[in-house]
Amino acid sequence: MQKEHKYAITKFENAFLRLKEAAEAAQDELEKDGTIQRFEFTFELMWKTLRIALQDSGINVKTPKESLQEAFRLGWLKNEEIFLNMLEDRNKTSHIYDKNTADEIFERICKSYVSAIGEIFDVLKRKLS
């Protein structure tokens, strides 16, 4: 495994595990906000690790959306819509804050996003090994 690959997948794995832990444990508003913040940086590491794997396959992408679309086209992602929703939610949490939106995003993180991120982590770990 190249040093860059190992570094990327390790950082992504650590972020994912911290997100999973937060999603399972969050009870109050502060913990939920922390979970959303962990989601933001996990998403960033996910798409950047995805970009590395795509580059290894000869595909150059510049944005998170391009990365997700190419990964779906290659069959690495099973549900493109969930990942595009994830991107939209990441953009929302980065630019605005309102409690109702935060609560909705927190629910999606717990119900859908953690498991979807886990699936792409497994794919990327295999691809970058």
Domain positions in the chain are 3-128
Q: Is 21 helix (H, G, I), strand (E, B) or coil?
A: helix
Q: Identify the pLDDT of residue 1.
A: 59
Number of helices (H) and strands (E) in the chain: give both, helices first: 6, 0
Average pLDDT, the chain: 94
CA 91 to chain centre: 12
Q: Identify the pLDDT of residue 22.
A: 98
List, for residues 40-91, the tens digit of each pLDDT value.
999 999 999 999 999 999 999 999 999 999 999 999 998 989 999 999 999 9
- pTM of the full structure: 0.94
**Domain boundaries 3-128, CATH class:** mainly alpha
Q: Identify the pLDDT of residue 2.
A: 86
First to last CA, the chain: 5
CA distances from 129 to 8, 65, 103 (A): 11, 24, 37
pLDDT (average), residues 8-29: 97
Separation of alpha carbons 86 and 66, rounded Å: 14
Separation of alpha carbons 110 and 108, rounded Å: 5
Q: Identify the pLDDT of residue 44.
A: 97
Q: Identify the pLDDT of residue 111.
A: 97
